[in-house]
A = this chain, B = another copy of it.
Amino acid sequence: MTKDNIREYLLAKGRELVVSQGAAFLTARKLAEASGCSVGTIYNQFANMDNFIMAENLQTLDELAGSLRKLSPDSSAYKTLNRYLDGFVRFVLSNRNLWFMLYHFHLQASVKKLPRAYLRRLVRVIEIWRPAFEEVFKDIRPRERRLSMQVLWLSLFSVSSFLTTRVLDDMNSVSKKTICKLLLNTYLAGLTALKKD
């Protein structure tokens, strides 16, 4: 822990805490203790804890993007979209605590305006889907296609908050992945049907 990477060190330690103990465990004092410094040092690196959490969340979104980018295209653009969905669901389920924190903060902070950096990351994730999406719906007008894509992503992103919790287990007998696949493919089928008019 040299002085030029304290920031990264704190982020790494904070990530550990969230992964192992949950987002609620991430407090200034606990982070300080885990990192072997005082609370003041944290506030030297980050304006406040919300900013720290935001920095963690940016990392999480970057990891998601990296994870999705690693996926190779399937035989059809349609199948590729499903592959991205699989990757998305898998990422959320294997990073439950991090994703929960992301969403929790998202909701908390979004009362005000969301930071540009955060919105940029969200857009970046959409951009990964876009080529496949555009190929499947190349005969839809760009404006509408763009909107449809955003609404689809918004739906999946919204529903993903429930993937980190037990709610869906109580309400439904099918798996979380099945729910997401049903949502995706019904929506895509709807777009396909509507474009024929």
Whole-angstrom distance between the Cβ of A26 and the nearest chain B Cβ: 14
Among A33-41, A55-63, A81-89, A153-161, the one that faces the other chain is A153-161
Cα separation A147 to B172 with both chains bound (whole Å) = 8
| Inter-subunit contact B193/A189 (CB<8 Å) | yes
Cα separation A188 to B187 with both chains bound (whole Å) = 8
| Inter-subunit contact A114/B170 (CB<8 Å) | yes
| Inter-subunit contact B107/A165 (CB<8 Å) | yes
Interfacial residues of chain A within 145-191, with CB under 8 A of chain B in the complex: 147-148, 150-151, 154-155, 158-159, 161-162, 165-168, 170-172, 174, 179, 182-183, 185-191
Main secondary structure on chain A at its contact with chain B?
Answer: helix
- 21 A-B residue pairs with CB within 8 Å: A22-B111, A100-B111, A106-B167, A107-B161, A110-B162, A110-B165, A111-B165, A114-B166, A147-B174, A150-B171, A151-B186, A161-B161, A183-B187, A185-B190, A185-B194, A187-B190, A189-B189, A189-B191, A189-B194, A190-B192, A190-B193
User: Which 4 A-B pairs rank lowest in CB-CB distance, beginning with the nearest?
Assistant: A190-B190, A158-B158, A189-B190, A193-B193
Q: Which residues of A contact B (CB under 8 A)?
A: 22, 100, 103-104, 106-108, 110-114, 119, 122, 147-148, 150-151, 154-155, 158-159, 161-162, 165-168, 170-172, 174, 179, 182-183, 185-194
